[in-house]
Amino acid sequence: MEQWDVIVVGAGNAALCAALAAAESAKKVLVLERAPEDESGGNSRYTAGLMRVAYRGVEDLKRAMPELSDAEIARSDFGTYTEEQFLDDMGRITEYRCDPDLTEILVKRSLDTVAWMRSKGVRFTAAWGRQAFNINGRFKFWGGLTVEAVGGGPGLVESLTGIAKKNGIEIWYAARAKDLLTDDSGVTGVVVKHQGKTKSLKAKSVVLAAGGFQSDPEQRTRYLGPGWELAKVRGTRFNTGDGIRMALAAGAAATGNWSGCHAVAWERNAPEFGDLAIGDQFQKHSYPWGIYLNAEGKRFVDEGADFRNYTYAKYGRVILSQPGQFAWQIFDAKVKQQLRDEYKIKQVTKRVGNTLEELCAKLEDTNQEQALKEIQAYNQAVCTGVPFNPNIKDGRGTKGLSIPKSNWANTLDTPPYEAYAVTCGITFSFGGLKINTEAQVISSDGGPIPGLYAAGELVGGIFWFNYPGGTGLTNGSVFGRIAGTGAAKAAAGARA
């Protein structure tokens, strides 16, 4: 039976950070990746690579992005995003249910962990294209999100994978972990099916970082509720809850928001699972600049309740609950320049009209007469005396509507008018394994399970109901690093 110091289950951002941290002191580190190599990397590969970090100014950001030039700094207003602001956002967005101890570690180690990744060779840049508006030649960042991996999610995975291999970490692809090996001393290894054969691998410690259960329609419906089998999956088809299942079978405690998930507005006719050729471009996140209409031709949500970063991950659930599980995003020509690049891809369900009547007549599966009335009522309700400003919550809202629009309300009055059909795209599930601040998996009997660590999407208790954009990758990196370090230390103790 093969013997390893540390086995990491998964090969996304959290898993590879765990493997790299483990390899700082452990000699034999193995990564088991269920997917074939060309689909490896879990959900991390499907992201934009954005990472939320606390920073007090550009000098902090240069720890993660030392290549920032003087010219780039001069044309950028990065502002600040303090630990206090990050903590406040996590509390507010999760309705103050986020685990306070884990959240404090996530926030306080966010910048240091990204700087550690940079020291390993991962390169980051400022998210000028996604998180800043050009105001009079200067880019102003908003929403507390500044840093993104070079090459986005695919670049992040490729970088971490290459660095792992250079550090002597072995990666097995198409290797599906089936079960944990346990005895009275704790977790002793992993049962894996690799190259058509099931084998038992001994390990002094194991890190689980294999994603949530969102790719399994049965578990989605069981935990998230009726109708969730109808959602599209934004990312990998391989995240079917294997890591969670193995740990629960070994006595781990379940925790967190099991009926909650990260879910967004997603191209209505996208494939059932993510497409690596398109990446995250099926998402449609510019709704604050327009309005939503459902199949009944009615608005159903406050599109301007907050910055997109703080609402997009919960609005997918709202769209799924609409008749036909879809909605239209409606814009006019005034905001065309502010629509994100994802609206420009060929794979969109898009309708265009030179009048509102013409546009509404093209909205199939929709009460077109009511849609026109709804837009006209919305137009009359916009407080046009308040100036429009996309960089702040501008207070330009509506009056007299049953569902208000609180900010960025613009009349739809400038042709051509555009409508984009969206449905719900699920990113990851929020329920998972209970861990402590050392990323040790906690037993349902209380106390850590010796030799077992976890990080990333399969950890519960951190996100509830909603999610501040860019926190998922940061969460995976922070606790992946902690888990890998702890696993290597445990392995050294086992050797001693």
Give, rounded to a whole angstrom, the gap between the first and last alpha carbons of the chain.
20
Q: What is the CATH number of the domain that holds 327?
A: 3.90.700.10
Q: What percent of the chain has pLDDT over 90?
A: 94
pLDDT single digits (tens) 277-288: 998 899 999 999
Domain tally for the chain?
2
| Residue 196 confidence (pLDDT) above 80 | yes
User: Which pLDDT belongs to residue 309?
Assistant: 87
Inside any domain, residue 242? no
Instruction: Mark whether 199 and 84 lie in a shared domain.
Output: yes
CA atoms 195, 199, 200, 202: torsion sign: negative
User: Which pLDDT belongs to residue 288?
Assistant: 97
Enclosing domain of residue 95: 3-213+430-495
Instruction: Mark whether 461 and 372 lie in a shared domain.
Output: no
Measuring CA to CA, which residue among 4, 22, 445 is closest to residue 250? 445
Across the strands, what pairs with 335? none
Instruction: Mark whether 354 and 336 lie in a shared domain.
Output: yes
Instruction: Mark whether 381 and 442 lie in a shared domain.
Output: no
pLDDT single digits (tens) 114-130: 999 999 999 999 999 87
Query: Residue 134: pLDDT band by 50, 70, 90 thresholds?
Result: confident
Phi, psi for 13 (deg, rounded to 5): -60, -50
Instruction: Mark whether 362 and 301 lie in a shared domain.
Output: yes
Across the strands, what pairs with 433? 254, 459
Q: What percent of the chain has pLDDT over 70?
A: 99
pTM for this model (two decimals): 0.94
Inside any domain, residue 100? yes
Instruction: Mark whether 417 and 458 lie in a shared domain.
Output: no
Instruction: Mark whether 387 and 434 lie in a shared domain.
Output: no
Q: Is the peptide bond before 416 cis (omega within 30 degrees of 0)?
A: yes
| Residue 496 confidence (pLDDT) above 90 | no
Annotate 214-229 with b (16+ C-beta within 10 A) or e (fewer).
bbbeebbeebbeeebe
Inside any domain, residue 340? yes
Q: What is the CATH number of the domain that holds 473?
A: 3.50.50.60
pLDDT single digits (tens) 13-54: 999 999 999 999 999 999 999 999 999 999 999 999 999 999
Task: Work out the mean pLDDT of the chain and round it to a whole number.
Answer: 96
Inside any domain, residue 233? no
pLDDT single digits (tens) 347-384: 999 999 999 999 999 999 999 999 999 999 999 999 99
User: Which pLDDT belongs to residue 391?
Assistant: 86
Query: Residue 495: pLDDT band by 50, 70, 90 thresholds?
Result: low
Instruction: Mark whether 357 and 315 lie in a shared domain.
Output: yes
Instruction: Mark whether 319 and 184 lie in a shared domain.
Output: no
Task: Determine contact, residues 420/350, Cβ cutoff 8 Å.
Answer: yes
Inside any domain, residue 231? no
Inside any domain, residue 204? yes
Element of type H or E holding 6: strand 3-9
| Residue 486 confidence (pLDDT) above 80 | yes
Last residue within a domain, chosen from 369, 394, 425: 425
Where do the DSSP E strands lie in 332-433?
Answer: 350-353, 417-429, 432-433
User: Which pLDDT belongs to residue 476?
Assistant: 98
Report the C-alpha dihedral over residues 274, 279, 282, 285, rounded to 10 degrees: 120
Last residue within a domain, chosen from 380, 400, 425: 425
| Residue 412 confidence (pLDDT) above 70 | yes
If phi > 0 it is left, if psi is from -120 to 50 it is alpha, else beta; for residue 86 that is: alpha
Instruction: Mark whether 18 and 111 lie in a shared domain.
Output: yes
CA atoms 149, 471, 154, 193: torsion sign: positive
Last residue within a domain, chosen from 379, 396, 425: 425
Instruction: Mark whether 161 and 198 lie in a shared domain.
Output: yes
User: Which pLDDT belongs to residue 248?
Assistant: 98
Inside any domain, residue 273? yes
Inside any domain, residue 377? yes
Instruction: Mark whether 200 and 292 lie in a shared domain.
Output: no
